Amino acid sequence: MTAGFAATTIDDIARDVGATKGLVYYHFRSKFDIFLAAYGEGMRRVRERVEPHADGPGTGRDRLVAMSIAHLVNLMEDLAYHHVVHQAVRGEPSTALKTRQRDALLALNRLRKDYEQMFHRVVVDGIDDGSLRRVDPALATRTLLSNLNAVDMWYRRVEGQSGDELHDLARRIVDLLIGGLAD
Amino acid sequence: MTAGFAATTIDDIARDVGATKGLVYYHFRSKFDIFLAAYGEGMRRVRERVEPHADGPGTGRDRLVAMSIAHLVNLMEDLAYHHVVHQAVRGEPSTALKTRQRDALLALNRLRKDYEQMFHRVVVDGIDDGSLRRVDPALATRTLLSNLNAVDMWYRRVEGQSGDELHDLARRIVDLLIGGLAD
């Protein structure tokens, strides 16, 4: 779905997953239901990796670094899911939604807000314990998350890249985002 | 064109600019030619604002901050153009291109590379003069530019926002990107 939801056809999806169009329709009632399933699975996966670090040991900065690295590693490993979630952040779908679809979308958007709120809480912790600068927590959280997500603009999986190499790249990017370019 | 190039029809474009489809076709031979014109104009506008700061006075950090603020102010003021340029960064169009279209696209992509190279040069200056940390210049440049561009994910024009308010918001975001969240 890298081309974006609106431009993706059921045929594209069927080809991507190596199935027939009939099989895709057997499992999902519409293209929007596929989007909802992928959005939900993407949120579940990233949250599962990141949440344990929010309440872990260390300063606010330590926890924010660990959460951000986990978010980035998840993005790099699950680029397809990430694109779908990112799509959801970018804007609401223009298709007319059925009630159950709208309810499902709102529930997922709430999950995403909770996820963002978790980062906000740790930024505030870091400012309070002196491990982060006295920044505007709302602007800092939004900037950090959108910077983490922007990595999907240029990151492409390198064949044979090990888990350690991926983690090291994530660590270096997060060091730039949290530590900045200047001392 | 916020929905993305592939999902945008000539009818959408005509509606956005308050023209008829016929008038749009009178000026442009195809949807792709409209994209090329907007991409070119977007690059021209951002470069005109940012370039003077690259060779201005001050340390590498000072110049990088001034360039980044100018880039962001341009993005916020010219959001529609920015979306088109960002689209070009995201991936090549899937439509078959005529030779003149491919040549025009390659020339614009080269302009964009030059633009990125200008940031890279100032990052290296900042590392050399000690105003920036000893970061990996290529990764730092790519991260900074993708972070600046990611602001289009959440920034929406606020009615009645003054030029000073816009500049102040840009300055605060750039402070987070260059200075980081931690000391």
Q: How many CB atoms lie within 10 A of CB B128?
A: 12
pLDDT in tens, A74-93: 999 988 888 777 777 666 55
Instruction: Specify the pLDDT at position B73.
Output: 95
pLDDT average, residue stretch B91-95: 61
Cα–Cα dist B112/B8, whole Å: 23
pLDDT in tens, B22-80: 777 777 777 788 888 888 998 999 999 999 999 989 999 999 999 999 999 999 998 88
Instruction: Specify the pLDDT at position A92.
Output: 59
Query: Looking at A58-67, A144-153, B90-99, which range is the least confident one?
Result: B90-99
pLDDT average, residue stretch B123-152: 94
Sign, Cα dihedral of B122, B124, B128, B131: positive
pLDDT above 80: residue A38: yes
How close is the nearest chain B Cα to the Cα of A49, in Å? 22
pLDDT above 80: residue B12: no
Instruction: Specify the pLDDT at position A35.
Output: 83
Q: Is residue A155 within 8 Å of A165, Cβ to Cβ? A: no
> Mean pLDDT for chain B?
87
pLDDT above 60: residue A68: yes
More confident call, A14 vs B106: B106
Instruction: Specify the pLDDT at position B5.
Output: 62
Q: Which residues of B touch A (CB under 8 A)?
A: 2-4, 6-7, 61, 64, 89-91, 94, 123, 126, 131-133, 135-136, 139-140, 142-144, 146-147, 149-151, 153-154, 172-173, 176-183
Q: Calculate the alpha carbon distances from A84 to A1, A41, A66 in Å.
A: 7, 10, 24
How close is the nearest chain A Cα to the Cα of B158, in Å? 16
Cβ–Cβ of A3/B94 closer than 8 Å?
yes
Cβ–Cβ of B176/A139 closer than 8 Å?
yes
Residues near B48 by beta carbon (within 8 Å), at least 6 away in sequence: none
pLDDT average, residue stretch A25-38: 78
Chain B hits for A66, Cβ within 8 Å: none
pLDDT average, residue stretch A121-146: 95
pLDDT above 60: residue A1: no
Reported confidence tier of residue A59, pLDDT bands at 50, 70, 90: very high
Cβ–Cβ of A177/B180 closer than 8 Å?
yes
pLDDT above 80: residue A123: yes
Terminal CA-CA length for chain B: 40
